[in-house]
Amino acid sequence: MRYEVKAVVVSLVHFVTWPFWVPSVLAYRLLGSERAFDVSAKFLSLWPGRVGQVLRASFYMKTLKVCHFDLAVGFGSFFSHPEAEVGKGVGIGSFTIIGTARLGDGVMVASRVSVLSGKYQHGGGRRGRDFRANDLHLEPVRIGDGSWLGEGSLIMADVGSQCIVSAGSVVTKAMPSGATAIGNPARFLRYTDKAEAAAG
């Protein structure tokens, strides 16, 4: 679908998705409740194909803190909190869950990826390991411009720009820009382009 056409189509689809985004926005802004958002996001994640992607783009444009119309979210994938922010040209594969993340421009996310809302969502609290009694502690995880999160990776900390997170890697600490993450817990490697090294 051409870029300009998609902008118009997604705007028109707002009139179709209003039964999902209106209750979600009102419940969150007036009551602080994410339940309507959660139910709607999961329901819309089950629509297949191009139609599903357009429906999801429309819904998230209206409900997320920041979201561009060209967002592409695959089947079975959803954002779990409306505080997420999404830049331009972001693509997300199937069966991926994104928490309170801030995805930069051009970020690409493969299938079965989890971007958590920090490392300590259920930690701490006076009740210790009685996690049901602990308050949620959500921290925005930032994914820098142009980064790629590989198949089945788990992201718990910030990822810099132009990074590659290899398939199955678990990022537990901040990742510098231009690095490649490998393993669990991930090690950060830097690869030098041979042409650049010869020119230098």
For 132-183, how does the pLDDT look when each residue is reduced to its tens digit (9 = 90+)?
655 666 789 999 999 999 999 999 999 999 999 999 999 999 999 999 999 9
Partners of 159 in the β-ladder = 143, 175
Instruction: Report the pLDDT averaged over residues 28-41.
Output: 95
- The CATH architecture that domain 3-191 belongs to is 3 Solenoid (2.160)
Pick from 138, 144, 149, 194: which is nearest to 171 by CA? 149
Say what the alpha-carbon torsion angle 104, 109, 113, 119 is, to the nearest 10 degrees.
-20
For the chain, domain boundaries: 3-191
Decide if pLDDT at 128 tops 90.
no
pTM for the structure as a whole: 0.85
Decide if pLDDT at 22 tops 50.
yes
Beta strand 187-189 with 180-182: parallel, antiparallel or unpaired? antiparallel
> What CA–CA distance (Å, rounded) separates 34 from 28?
6
> So what's the pLDDT on residue 197?
43
